[in-house]
Every structure is written in structure tokens, then in C-alpha cells.
Amino acid sequence: MRLSQSFIPTLKETPKEAQITSHRLMLRAGLVRQTTSGIYAWLPTGLRVLRRISDIIREEQDRINAQEVLMPTIQSADLWRRSGRYDAYGPEMLRIQDRHQRELLYGPTNEEMITDLFGQSVKSYKDLPQVLYQIQWKFRDEVRPRFGVMRGREFLMKDAYSFDVDYASALTNYRRMLLSYLRIFQRLGVRAVPMRADTGPIGGDLSYEFLVLAPTGESSVFYDSTLEEQDWLAEAVDFNDPQALEEFFNRVTVPYAATDEVHDVEAWKAVPSDRKREGRGIEVGHIFYFSNKYTESMGITVSGHDGVPFHPEMGSYGIGVSRLVGAIIEAKHDENGIIWPDSVAPFRAVILNLKMGDADCDRVCECLYTSASQQFLYDDRSERAGVKFADADLMGHPWQIVVGPRGANAGVVELKRRATGERREVSVDEALTLVMAS
């Protein structure tokens, strides 16, 4: 994309309404704009990041054989009356009436709808297990929308739902999801620590939240530092082997990690003091097993191998896709701007032409740009070098390819790595090779 022709409205001033760094940087780098309280429009670069995050989530959910669906955002109130949640949900639910005075709502989550879809089509234990997911907008009329996309009213969520014949099989799916989530967050370039969380009225201990550690997080967290140091992508756990998943799960969930809601002071005492970490975290994911709560309340049965009908076991598994954009920035920035991890960056690199109109500079830049124009942002504006450097740092591209007249004449460019600040002179070919390999 050529910056001179693009719609990337960066701001020099810090917007007053933004209280936290990620919100400020998202507005300043031109990723989003608020259209009304807690509702955001995603501009070209912001959308690219949202898509890259979604793509990684898709790859990892598909890997464990979860199947993608797309459910509507608008749901009927009757569906929610069947589970009893229409009245229970409260003012966070946006309730709507159509022209025939039929009651609808903008979905805050999809347990009822997926359970109904499942019940319409699955009649026998032979069709289990099933794991379905979607990446879809949700609406929750939060009392206090704040921190930009972090706590919005309309937000993008990946929500998955599992259906199983019995507890053992449901537990296997739950463990598989835990592994999938650890892989997803690591690939996104952030540390998200799995922590024991509140199970609410349903009870049990099968509720884990994934928290990105950041001082601006809304939850207080207590955890054993060993959980931060693991390389989950190096784990060779076979997703199809329940035994291997159990062994993995037991290993991961032994070190202490809890949000303040379920913090256990006695258990915390047993953690060696040099491994104790206390701080704040942003909830970016949540996995939850809830037995047959919805299949039972909504009257969904399938026939068992003995012919006797039963209510399948379920779990649900969420990831805050749009919240993650903010959470990643909270974890990856410096005083000059965003530092995108390679895996989610809107562009691999920015090409900075320091002297537009100089024959050598223009030639080298065009040559670089046309080699991968979809993946590069080309700063071809007639701006001072200082402005270009500042905007490049603000927008956080993993690499900056700096093209000045002297170097261009000799076929040399300066390559800067945003994360470390490291700079080096390399040939045009070498720059391309390094950038494309990351």
C-alpha cells in the first residue's frame, strides 16, 4: 500500500478521551475510530490486524478439528426463553423489536443458538463429539464501556462450543482447547497465562481464563512464574490422544495461577517466593465446561448406545479477538509507539523513501515495493525524514527499510528492527530476504 494514497489517518496529538496507552496508540496510528460509545469502526490497518489474529485462531481451531460456522448476530428472544436466560441476562442484553413487534436481541453470546442448531440435526450418540466455532460480532451493553476496544459494547469474539457423550469425552475436548489456546496466544506474540477462574453457579474447577499481563489489566492475578517461560509450540502433544492430553493438562495446571476471584491464600503460600508473581491481567480468553446445563434446560436429547436418550455434555470457549488488538499493544509498545509482533503486524515492513524524486531512491523503493506490494507499506509522501521515522515507529511495523540517496546509489539500504532498534546496512536483496523470512 502506498501511504500517499492510503486511508491511515494518524494523529500527532494524543486524543484526550483515551485513558490507556493501547487506546491512545490505536487512535493515533489510525487503526480505529469510535462511532458512538463503545462502538468502533475498523480502518484499513486495524482491520488487517484483526484479520491476522482471526487467521491464526482459525488455523489452530481447525487443527484440532473444530469446524467453523457463522451464526447471525440477531437472535430471537424465544430461543433465550427456552434456557431461562432471557430474563436472567439483565440490562447488558440489547433487546430489539421488529416491525411485527416480535422480540429479538443482538447476541451477547451463542450457547442457546448453537444448542438449538445442534438439537435440530444431531439425533444419535454416533454423531458425537462435535466442536463448532465462529468468529462473529457480539453486543453487550456494558455499563462502562472504556479503554477503547478493550471493553467495547460491540466486539469481535471467537466462540466455540463442544458436544460430547459423557464427562470423560467432554474433558478431553476441554483439554484439547486449553492446548489450542496456549498455541494461539503464543503465535500471536503475547504471553497469556492460563488461570483458574470462577465457575459461577455451576461450580466445578473446569474454568480457566487466559490473561495477558499488563499494568492496565482489569483483573488482579497471582501466578507461578514457571507458567510464563514455557514454549507451548514446542510441545509435541497428539491432539487425538486423550492420554497425552491428560498428561499435558496435569502438567500445565499444577503451577499456581488464579485471578483474585478465586485466589486461595493457603495454596499461594506454598509457591516458592522467588517464583511468586502478582500483578494485573487482561482477560483475552475463557474456556468453560458446564455439563448439560443448556441441553437439559432447552430439552435437547440424543439417543445413547443403549437407545436411552440423554442430554449431551457441553463446554464453551471464547477468545476476545478485538480486545486482543488492544491487549497486544498494552504488552508490546514503547514511548514511540506500537511494536507489532511479526505474526499480527498489518504490514511486514515499511519502506521509507527519504528523498522522493531522487532517481536512485525512487527506483530502489519501487523495486522493493513491487516485490510484495500487499505486504509492504511504502511511505512515498513528500514529508521530512523525521516525520516518516516518527510515523513508522508509531505504527509499529516490525521492519523499517530506510532508503536514502547515498545508499540507494550503491544498492544499499538501512534495515531497522522496530523491536530492538537494531540497524544495519544491507543490500536490497538481503533486506528483502531478511524481511520475508521473519
Binding partner at 142 among Mg ion, ligand ATP, none, C-beta below 5 to 8 Å by kind: ligand ATP
- The verdict on 286 binding Mg ion (CB under 5 A) reads yes
Output 116 or 209, the one with its CB closest to ligand ATP: 209
Q: Which single residue brings its beta carbon nearest to ligand ATP?
A: 320
30 CB-near residues (< 8 Å, 6+ apart):
7, 8, 9, 10, 11, 43, 45, 46, 395
> Measured from the CB atom, is 320 or 407 closer to ligand ATP?
320
Residue 288 beta carbon to Mg ion: minimum distance, rounded to whole angstroms = 8
Where on the chain is the footprint of ligand ATP (CB under 6 A)?
109, 140, 142, 151-152, 155, 157, 283-286, 318, 320, 322-323
Q: Would you give the DSSP letter of residue 203?
A: -
- Give the DSSP H or E segment for 97: strand 94-97
140 binds Mg ion (CB under 5 A): no
Q: Which is nearer to ligand ATP, 156 or 428 (CB)?
A: 156
Which range of residues in 37-45, 264-272, 286-294, 401-409 is near Mg ion by CB under 5 A? 286-294
Type of residue found at 104: L
Q: How far is the CB of 159 from Mg ion (least distance, A)?
A: 11
CB of 353 to ligand ATP, least distance (A): 38
Residue 286 CB, nearest distance to Mg ion (Å)?
Answer: 4
Nearest to 323 by CA among 195, 197, 142: 142
Min. distance of Cβ 316 from Mg ion in angstroms? Answer: 10
- Give the span between the Cα atoms of 198 and 200, in whole angstroms: 6
- Return d(Cα 38, Cα 30) in angstroms, integer: 17
Closest CA to 83 of 126, 58, 54, 114: 114
Q: What length does the chain have?
A: 438
Backbone CA torsion sign across 341, 344, 348, 354: negative
Q: Choose the contact partner of 151 out of Mg ion, ligand ATP, none; CB within 5 to 8 A by kind.
A: ligand ATP
Question: Looking at residue 64, what DSSP letter applies?
Answer: T
What is the C-alpha to C-alpha distance for residues 312 and 316, in angstroms, rounded to an integer?
13
- DSSP string for residues in 274-302: GGEEEEEEEEEEEEEEEETHHHHHTT--E
- What angle in degrees, to the nearest 10, is found between the helix axes of 21-28 and 321-331? 100
> How does DSSP assign 215-228, residue by residue?
TT-SEEEEEEGGGG
Cis peptide before 129 (omega within 30 of 0): yes
Q: Which is nearer to ligand ATP, 38 or 407 (CB)?
A: 38
- Binding track over 233-272 against Mg ion, x by CB under 5 A: ----------------------------------------
In the complex, the smallest distance separating the C-beta of residue 263 from ligand ATP, rounded to whole angstroms, is: 16
Q: For the CB of residue 159, give the shortest distance to ligand ATP in the complex, in Å.
A: 7
Please enumerate in sequence order all residues whose Cβ is within 8 A of that of 138, keeping only pairs 6 or more positions apart, or say none. 73, 106, 107, 108, 109, 154, 155, 156, 157, 159
Binding partner of residue 345 among Mg ion, ligand ATP, none, CB cut-off 5 to 8 Å per kind: none
Q: Which region among 236-244, 278-286, 327-335, 371-379 touches Mg ion (by CB under 5 A)? A: 278-286
Cβ closer to ligand ATP: 40 or 399? Answer: 40
Q: Which is nearer to Mg ion, 218 or 414 (CB)?
A: 218
Of 107 and 404, CB closest to ligand ATP: 107
Closest to ligand ATP by CB, 318 or 396: 318
**418 contacts which partner out of Mg ion, ligand ATP, none, CB within 5 to 8 A by kind?**
none
Q: Return the number of other C-beta atoms located less than 10 Å from residue 281's C-beta.
A: 26
Cell of 391: 510515523
Interface stretch with Mg ion, choices 51-59, 74-82, 85-93, 280-288 (CB under 5 A): 280-288
Exposed/middle/buried for residue 142 (C-beta within 10 Å: 0-12, 13-18, 19+): middle
Q: Which position's Cβ is nearest Mg ion?
A: 286
Interacting partner of 30 out of Mg ion, ligand ATP, none (Cβ under 5 to 8 A depending on kind): none
> By C-beta, is 261 or 278 nearer to ligand ATP?
261
Helix axes 44-63, 321-331, angle to 10 degrees: 110
Residue 400 interacts with which of Mg ion, ligand ATP, none, CB < 5 to 8 Å by class: none
| Residue 374 to residue 370: CA distance in whole angstroms | 9
Residue with smaller CB distance to ligand ATP, 332 or 416: 332
284 binds, among ligand ATP, Mg ion, none (CB under 5 to 8 A by kind): ligand ATP
Interface ranges with Mg ion (CB under 5 A): 286
